[in-house]
Amino acid sequence: MIKYIMTALAIGIVTGYSNDVWGSMIVNDVISHYLFDGSLILLLFVMGVSFGSGKELVGKLGKAGFKVLVIPLAVALGSILGGLVGGLILGVDVILTMAVCAGYGWYTLAGPLIGQIFGLELGALGFTVNFLRELLTITTVSLTAKIDKYAPIASGGATAMDTTLPIIVRYCGSDVLIAAFSSGFMLTITAPFTILAIASLR
């Protein structure tokens, strides 16, 4: 999966650079606005269908009650605070760094959305940071699981409901399945709104 993502990213970089050098303003406008907006709307629609079709998991979420809100709330606050601290240390606009970290690992959303708000270059940063979060979760899960069985859930962020869920369950046990899915579910729903809310502070 990673090799396909990196290949698509490389092709996108080459295409974007070529279009910037040789493309017309009309082509740039179509790509920057209509293609990004359409892709983002389609992505959110597909995620909605995915949520609605998982009736068994949604039922278990209902039985878990308000306890399912504790982990995603802690992950969200920790991610945004981490973005704030990182921005201060690196001397970067803290609104930008907090918005980037508010993607919670959902790089296919964070990249285009941040690109729409802050510009294409910063959109690439949003994609990279959140992609690396997922990649680091996968490569370090065997270590973080030894610290605490909920640590990989926090590390995975929004991806704990899909791409990193199998590996989290493998190393942390099936008893964390509901906690991981519910955390990822809540973060996935709130990510676009959190990014927009933080960006509005600028």
The per-residue pLDDT for range 21-38, each reduced to its tens digit, is: 665 555 566 666 677 667
Are the CB atoms for 101 and 85 separated by under 8 Å?
no
- Measured in degrees and rounded to the nearest 5, phi and psi for residue 54 equal -85, 65
- What is the per-residue pLDDT for 81? 96
Residues 164-185 pLDDT 10s: 888 898 899 877 888 888 899 8
Residues 107-140 pLDDT 10s: 888 988 998 888 888 888 999 999 999 989 988 9
Residues 34-92 pLDDT 10s: 776 676 677 667 656 766 666 665 566 566 566 678 899 999 999 999 999 999 999 98
- What is the per-residue pLDDT for 190? 93
Are the CB atoms for 114 and 95 separated by under 8 Å?
no
The helix/strand/coil state of 91 is coil
The pTM score is: 0.73
- What is the per-residue pLDDT for 153? 93
